[in-house]
Amino acid sequence: MSLTVSKVDKSYGKLKALDEISLCFEPGNIYGLFGRNGAGKSTLCNLMTGRTLPDQGLVHLDGSDLVSDSRIARRVALVNETWPYPSRRHIRQAFAMAEGFYGDFDWHLAERILKSFALRLTDTFASLSMGQRQVVKDVIGLCLPVEYLILDEPTTGMDAAARERIYSFVLEAYQQRGPTMIIATHIINEVSQLISRATIIDQGRVLRSFSVDDLSALGTTVTGRPRDVEGYLAQGDPQLLSRQRIGDLLRVSFEGPVSDEQPKGLIVAPMDLQTYFVQITEGAAQ
């Protein structure tokens, strides 16, 4: 059982949004789908729910073609910037419409989330602030009985406290019903503890795909006097990601793990997810 994208091409006019991209999302994970603005995240999210059709290639759920088999569409939900429900009716009606299509909406969880954000089922979408609207969209996704839930920028317009709270509910929903989740965002620090796997895309292609438990083995930063840093680098043959002067000091980063010994006069540190992301997407752009 998995959601797979195989060799998918998608262009908008001359712009190539996805370039022969292949990915596989296995059940039981929370995936982080990362990319800079315009990397192709949203196009990919739309494709995986059949909202956009590929020019080339296939999207499968458990071996069934998502494009030609409309029953599949009910097993995958997408929360993104769109609001395909009436804006001037009570949000209760939007929830009921979603239930009509996907079935078995978790009203209990929905009311709890709304209450914690001081929202009511009788509020209308049009009357809400941007952050509140995002909460309502997230509620729909989190309360549906789907196997795959794709959240495209799920905290748009929310303040820090609200973002934390919604992610707590994301985890609660994940543990209650256990949908496989794919969270697309460019704010990586926000979800770095939430996810079990990360996929980084850039210019419509997959740059990296890895388990976050392997993170300390992914990249390393070394700071020190240039002579010491060069000496350290000369011991191995690391694949450099960046090289930066800070005053008289040199900071380099490279792929691969930190060695056990801490050389004198150098600060050697494993890269966190955000730094690694920035480094490799910078490298790819050059």
Task: Tell whether residue 162 is a contact of other proteins (CB under 8 A).
Answer: no
Type of residue found at 109: L
Task: Tell whether residue 58 is a contact of other proteins (CB under 8 A).
Answer: no
Residue range at the interface with other proteins (CB under 8 A); choices 16-24, 55-63, 66-74, 167-175: 167-175
Type of residue found at 250: L
Task: Tell whether residue 198 is a contact of other proteins (CB under 8 A).
Answer: no
Which residue, among 181, 217, 207, has the nearest Cα to 278 in the 3D structure? 207
Q: Between residues 53 and 187, which has the closer beta carbon with respect to other proteins?
A: 187
Burial letters 184-193, b for 16+ CB under 10 A, else e: bbeebebbbe
How far apart CA 185 and CA 273 sit, in angstroms, is 13
Q: Return the residue of 46, 223, 279, 281 that touches other proteins, per CB under 8 A.
A: 223
Contact predicate 145/104, CB 8 Å: yes
| Strand boundaries in 13-116, DSSP class E | 15-25, 30-34, 56-61, 64-65, 76-79
CB of 59 to other proteins, least distance (A): 25
Q: Return the residue of 102, 138, 219, 252 that touches other proteins, per CB under 8 A.
A: 219
Task: Tell whether residue 272 is a contact of other proteins (CB under 8 A).
Answer: yes
Task: Tell whether residue 113 is a contact of other proteins (CB under 8 A).
Answer: no
> Residue 158 in 3-state DSSP?
coil
- Only one residue has tokens 């955000």, namely 274
CB of 202 to other proteins, least distance (A): 21
CB of 86 to other proteins, least distance (A): 33
Q: Return the residue of 246, 260, 261, 264 that touches other proteins, per CB under 8 A.
A: 246
Extract the tokens encoding 47.
């494709």
Q: Return the residue of 249, 256, 263, 284 that touches other proteins, per CB under 8 A.
A: 249
Contact predicate 254/262, CB 8 Å: no
Binding site for other proteins (CB under 8 A): 28, 30, 164, 167-168, 171-172, 174-175, 192-196, 212-216, 219, 221, 223, 246-247, 249, 251, 267, 269-276
